[in-house]
Amino acid sequence: MAGKRLILMGPPGGGKGTQAKRLQDRYGIVQLSTGDMLRAAVKAGTALGQEANAVMDAGKLVSDDLIIAMINERVDLEDCKNGFILDGFPRTVRQAEALDKMLKEKGIKLDSAIEVAVPDARLIERIIGRFTCAKCGEGYHDKFKQPKKAGVCDMCGGTEFTRRADDNAETVGARLKAYHDQTAPLMPYYQGRGLLKVIDGDRDMDVVTADLESILGT
């Protein structure tokens, strides 16, 4: 069985969150999304949430130390034993180095770092217009994926939907810039460690999932 401790990388709006959820369901491994964790902290009004809120709204990156501490605690929990998908982390070379050190100390080996590549021109339209079922988290899009019945989630029947505060035209540019400046250097970092696999994310979601499954195996 191929290993199931992986990093899913890719630009904002590139579909990593959607794909990570699918892999979670398919393989019984857990999606660890630092963006979701931060949004939960903002909603709960914790000290971390208060610190992160303005940075996220500006489309910039939250401090490495905060994120590293958050992940360090999270991977120790029981649900990570079977495997995990890091979604949105690491996002800087410093985070990647901290992750290497942390996993080494815990005696955990990373199996692959997968980049879901999507050109910039496609990302803006994918980000603006997306929304999520507030109950089950299923993702939708005004243009590309409307619920079959307007206002009702296909998956759970929920009728409330949310949009991310940072999914707007002003913030997207800053998020893409942060990605190119700070996160893109991770590709050579993982390439050099023999862990990088790149898949074309600018295709039908199911085709992208099939590619990921062929990397992960049964």
For the segment 17-36, give every residue that binds ligand AMP (CB under 6 A): 34-35
Q: Which strands make up the sheet holding 161-162, listed edge to edge? A: 139-141, 130-133, 161-162
- Minimum CB separation of residue 72 from ligand AMP in Å reads 13
175 is catalytic: yes
91 is catalytic: yes
**Under a CB-based contact definition with an 8 Å cutoff, are residues 6 and 113 in contact?**
yes
22 is catalytic: no
Who's near 166: CB < 8 A, 6+ residues apart?
A: 56, 57, 59, 175
- Minimum CB separation of residue 128 from ligand AMP in Å reads 14
**Under a CB-based contact definition with an 8 Å cutoff, are residues 71 and 5 in contact?**
no
Binding-residue pattern over the window 83 to 122 for ligand AMP, x denoting contact by CB under 6 A: -----xx-x---x---------------------------
- Minimum CB separation of residue 151 from ligand AMP in Å reads 25
By CB under 6 A, the count of residues binding ligand AMP is: 17
Closest alpha carbon to 173 in 116, 119, 212, 123: 123
Q: Which is nearer to ligand AMP, 186 or 216 (CB)?
A: 186
| Residue with token string 């949310």 | 162
